[in-house]
């Protein structure tokens, strides 16, 4: 039994991540062992939540991750910590499956975050609607951007039988953002001071906290061990730096479970693909922010071309694919030469170009994941396949093959199909 909350809101932009980070940091400073999860596909918010809680942050999603693996992760965490916090995605009922679906699947009470900056008593109507629409079990409310103690009392009075759990005042300094979400924690010089300040300003009702019921996460069935480890003896080189950091920790776990030895290198530092590599993995990230530096990384570019010419499997996702095009136009319109393994030109767009859960059909079954990008690729290469959007089942992202390179805007979640994952990193027998 463990205290557990799903932190949700009526929409994005209400302050869920800020509140979850503040609550995690406050509980840690109170001596609690805290584990935070992120609902839905996300790379950046988990980095901040890991910094706030001091523990790894994994993904929970009933479709992409699957209910069994979600149950295993929650049960393991419950055996190790005092508190589990799950940050929801978008609005409480948005998506198929939604954050509310996850809360109901595991009996987790919901903590509603509301932006009270431009409302008072209407907060009650909003929260009661959030509770009753599903319905969900509503544990309480955290009101963000509260102006005064009097303002907080008006909000609390409007909630009727739902407790006002905590309040956070309007912030003079907020967590900085860019086109794919929050700025990375490592780029904010005073991030720990900022998190401590948020924790200090979170006015917290300890009596309401003590009344929260505990959740019983029943031990989940142990994962079935793989019959074989098809990547045994293979070394996979993974690009890892400020341009390539969107990597699910679970993907790394799966590659190791499949038998692979992992090594890391930095294209931004002009490091070559390691000589011992049998395959290369270029995850997503922010190559558009480092395009000039990447264009000048001639040693890296020469090495990835040589790896391709030598027939090494290369898996490039989103930002990884962008770095392998002929050129990359940044948000200012400057055009930079990239590695040139995928003929075509990438250009940043002012609007979102792709978003949402998708699955890639493979001979080994569907490999699930998601897409989220602001750039487009103009190429004459014919796609070898397309992903399928969930739940609409309409055509999603193009998936390209150029020799031993596979590239797409699609971010794969490897635990959804380890057999298909292994096939991506093995040389074809044909």
- Cβ neighbors of 358 (< 8 A, separation 6 or more) are 368, 369, 370, 371, 387, 388, 389, 390, 396, 397, 410
How far is the C-alpha of 399 from the C-alpha of 386, rounded, in Å?
Answer: 5
Q: Between 122-133 and 149-158, two packed helices, what is the crossing angle to 10 degrees?
A: 40
Bridge partners (DSSP) of residue 146 are: 169
Residue 215, pLDDT > 70, answer yes
Identify the pLDDT of residue 228: 74
What are 13-37's pLDDT values in tens digits? 899 999 999 999 999 999 999 999 9
Q: Give the pLDDT score at 183.
A: 62
Q: Which CATH superfamily is domain 2-215 in?
A: P-loop containing nucleotide triphosphate hydrolases (3.40.50.300)
pLDDT of residue 352: 87
* Residue 430 reports pLDDT greater than 70: no
Domains 2-215 and 235-424 share a fold: yes
Q: Using the predicted structure, report yes or no on whether residue 225 has a pLDDT greater than 80.
A: no
Least confident of 131-140, 185-194, 266-275: 185-194
pLDDT over threshold 80, residue 223: no
CATH class of the domain defined by 235-424: alpha beta
- Mapped onto helix, strand or coil, the DSSP state of residue 212 is coil
The whole-angstrom separation of Cα 120 and Cα 2 is: 33
Q: What is the pLDDT of residue 227?
A: 64
The two beta strands, 34-39 and 279-282, are: unpaired
Question: Which residues, listed in sequence order, are joined to residue 328 by a DSSP beta bridge?
Answer: 336, 346
Residue 190: pLDDT band with limits 50, 70, 90: confident
User: Which of 237, 318, 348, 407 is flagged as catalytic?
Assistant: 318
Q: Where are the domains of the chain?
A: 2-215, 235-424
How far apart CA 49 and CA 21 sit, in angstroms, is 5
Please tell me the distance from the alpha carbon of residue 216 to that of residue 209, in angstroms, as a whole number.
17
**Residue 318 a catalytic site member:** yes
> Cβ(369)–Cβ(413) under 8 Å?
yes
Task: Write out pLDDT tens, residues 286-318.
Answer: 999 999 999 999 999 999 999 999 999 999 999
Nearest one of 42, 56, 44 to 88, comparing CA atoms: 42
Q: In the Cβ-directed half-sphere of 397, how many Cα atoms lie within 13 Å?
A: 30
* Cβ partners under 8 Å of residue 132, min gap 6: none
Q: What percent of the chain has pLDDT over 90?
A: 87
């Amino acid at each position: 039994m463990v205290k557990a909350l799903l932190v949700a809101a009526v929409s994005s932009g209400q302050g869920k991540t800020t509140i979850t980070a503040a609550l995690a940091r406050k509980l840690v400073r109170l001596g609690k062992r805290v584990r935070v999860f992120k609902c839905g596909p996300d790379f950046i918010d988990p980095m901040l939540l890991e910094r706030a809680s001091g523990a790894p942050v994994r993904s929970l999603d009933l479709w992409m991750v699957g209910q069994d693996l979600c149950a295993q992760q929650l049960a393991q965490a419950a055996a190790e910590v005092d508190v589990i916090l799950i940050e929801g995605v978008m609005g409480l009922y948005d998506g198929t499956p939604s954050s509310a679906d996850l809360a109901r699947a595991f009996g987790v009470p919901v903590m509603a975050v509301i932006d009270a900056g431009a409302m008072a008593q209407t907060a009650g109507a909003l929260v009661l609607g959030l509770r009753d629409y599903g319905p969900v079990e509503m544990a309480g409310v955290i009101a963000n951007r509260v102006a005064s103690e009097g303002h907080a009392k008006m909000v609390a009075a409007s909630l009727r039988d739902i407790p006002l759990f905590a309040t956070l005042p309007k912030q003079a300094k907020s967590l900085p953002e860019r086109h794919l979400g929050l700025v990375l924690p490592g780029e904010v010089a005073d991030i720990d001071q900022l998190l401590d300040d948020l924790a200090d300003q979170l006015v917290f009702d300890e009596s309401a906290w003590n009344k929260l019921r505990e959740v019983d996460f029943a031990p989940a069935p142990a994962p079935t061990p793989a019959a074989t480890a098809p990547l045994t003896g293979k070394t996979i080189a993974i690009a890892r730096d400020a341009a390539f950091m969107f990597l699910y920790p679970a993907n790394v776990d799966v590659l190791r479970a499949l038998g692979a030895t992992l090594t890391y290198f930095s294209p931004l530092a002009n490091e070559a693909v390691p000589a011992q590599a049998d395959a290369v993995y270029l995850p997503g990230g922010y190559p558009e922010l480092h395009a000039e530096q990447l264009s000048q990384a001639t040693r890296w570019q020469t090495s990835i071309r040589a790896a391709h010419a030598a027939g090494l499997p290369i898996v490039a996702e989103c930002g990884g694919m962008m770095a392998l095009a002929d050129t990359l136009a940044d948000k200012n319109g400057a055009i930079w030469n990239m590695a040139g393994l995928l003929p075509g030109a990438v250009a940043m767009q002012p609007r979102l170009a792709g978003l949402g859960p998708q699955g890639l059909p493979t001979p080994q079954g569907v490999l699930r994941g998601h897409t989220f990008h602001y750039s487009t690729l103009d190429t004459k290469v014919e796609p070898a396949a397309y992903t399928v959007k969930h739940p609409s089942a309409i055509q999603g992202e193009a998936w390209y093959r150029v020799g031993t390179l596979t590239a797409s805007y699609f971010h794969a979640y490897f635990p959804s199909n380890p057999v298909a994952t292994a096939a991506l990193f093995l040389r074809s027998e044909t």
